[in-house]
Amino acid sequence: MRNAIALVLIARNEERCIARCLASARAHVDEMIVLDTGSTDATREIAARCGARVLSAAWPDDFSAARNLALSHTSAPWRLVLDADEWIAAGAESLDAVRARAPGFLGLLRVDSVVNDERGALQHAPSWIPRLLPAGVHYEGRIHEQPASALPRERLALVIGHDGYLDRAREAKAGRNERLLRLALAEHPGDAYLYYQLGKDLEVRSRFAEALPHYLEAHRAGEAAAAWRHDLVMRLIFTLKKLKQFAQAVELASHELERWSDSPDFFFTLGDLLLDWALAEPQRAAELLPQIEASWQRAVLIGERPELPDSVRGRGSFLAAHNLAAFHESLGQAAQAAQWREREARWRQAE
C-alpha cells in the first residue's frame, strides 16, 4: 500500500520564500497545493512555476478557515501542512515510511525556528508541532490554529526549518496577528493559550508593558502541563527583566524552580535576569554574582534538552559557556575565562 501525500499551504505575498518551501518538498510529495489569499507580489506565479496547483480565495480573517479550504482541495490520505516561510530541512526520507502506514495518527514534526535574541543574534528554538495530518482532520482557531483530533500523535524524523520569526519577516506582518488574537479573545474570553500568544506577539515587538498582563493571565489560567508553559515562563521572566521588575521575576523563578529543574533555558534565563539586576543595582553585586555563575553552570550541567518545547539551542552548551567566559573576563579571571572560551569553541564546532 502506498498512500499519497499532498503538501498543502496557504500563502499571501510570500515571494521571498515560497520557492524554497516548494523546492524542498517537491521530490517527496505527490502533489502541492497552494491557496493564495490575495497576494499582490509574484507569489502565485512562483508557486505555479515550482509545480504547485495554485488556487485563490479571499482572506477570511481566520487561519483555520483558510487552511481547511486548502485541505478540501486534495483527496490524498496524508497532508503535509507547511507555511511558505518553512522548508524541509532534514529527514525527508521518513515520508516514505509514512506512505506505507494507515493514516491513523497525527505526525509531530520538529519545527526548528530561527529567531533573533535581544541583541539581534540568531538562535534556534525547536518545537514539536502536528503537521502531517490524515484526511478528514481539520483545524480550529482563528489564529495559532490547531488540528482538532483525538487521534494519537507520533514524533517523526522530519525536520522543518522556519525563519518567519526573524525581525525582518515579523515586521512585514506586524499588527495582523495582534488584531486576530484580540478578535479570538473576544470570541473565547479567558483562553489562556490566546493570552500567551497575544503576550508573545507584543513582547517580540518590544511592547513589554502591554505584554505583561497577558502573560500573567496565561500563567494564572493555563494548565501547568500545557506544552507552551515552558516558553511562557521563560518569556515572562524575560519580560519582567526588561521592565526592571527584578524582585517579581526572581519570585516567579523561585516558584517555578522545581518544575523546570531540568531545563537549561530556565537557568540560562535566570542567570541573565540576575546579571541585569546586579548591573542595575550594583550594591547587590556581591550577593548576586555567585548566583549568576551558578545559574549558567547549572545550565551547562543539564546540557541540551531539544525535547523541551521551544528550548533554545545552545543554552545548555555554547551560549552558557559564552556567558561564563564573559563573566570571568569581567572579574579579571583570565584562566577560568579561557577554559570557558575553549568549551564554547568546541561546542560551536560540533554544531
Position 135 in a domain: yes
Nearest to 11 by CA among 38, 31, 32, 50: 38
Is the pLDDT assigned to residue 345 strictly greater than 90? yes
For residues 21 and 109, membership in a common domain is answered with yes
Position 196 in a domain: no
- Chain segment 235-253, per-residue pLDDT in tens: 999 999 999 999 999 999 9
How would DSSP label each residue in 120-169? Answer: S-EEEEEEEEEEEEETT-EEE-SSS-EEE--S-EEEEEEEEEE-TTSHHH
Q: How confident is the model at residue 169 (pLDDT cuts 50, 70, 90)?
A: low
Q: How confident is the model at residue 124 (pLDDT cuts 50, 70, 90)?
A: confident
Position 218 in a domain: no
Is the pLDDT assigned to residue 153 strictly greater than 90? yes
Final residue of a domain: which of 166, 199, 226? Answer: 166
- Domain range for residue 131? 5-166
- Chain segment 262-306, per-residue pLDDT in tens: 999 999 999 999 999 999 999 999 999 999 999 999 999 999 999
Position 204 in a domain: no
- Chain segment 4-40, per-residue pLDDT in tens: 999 999 999 999 999 999 999 999 999 999 999 999 9
> How far apart are the C-alpha atoms of 90 and 197, rounded to whole Å?
28
Tally of domains within the chain: 2
Q: How confident is the model at residue 167 (pLDDT cuts 50, 70, 90)?
A: low
> How far apart are the C-alpha atoms of 36 and 66, rounded to whole Å?
9
Query: What CATH number is associated with residue 320?
Result: 1.25.40
The grid cell for 260 is 523546570
Final residue of a domain: which of 131, 149, 166? Answer: 166
Out of 19-23, 118-122, 125-129, 132-136, which region has the weakest mean confidence (pLDDT)? 118-122
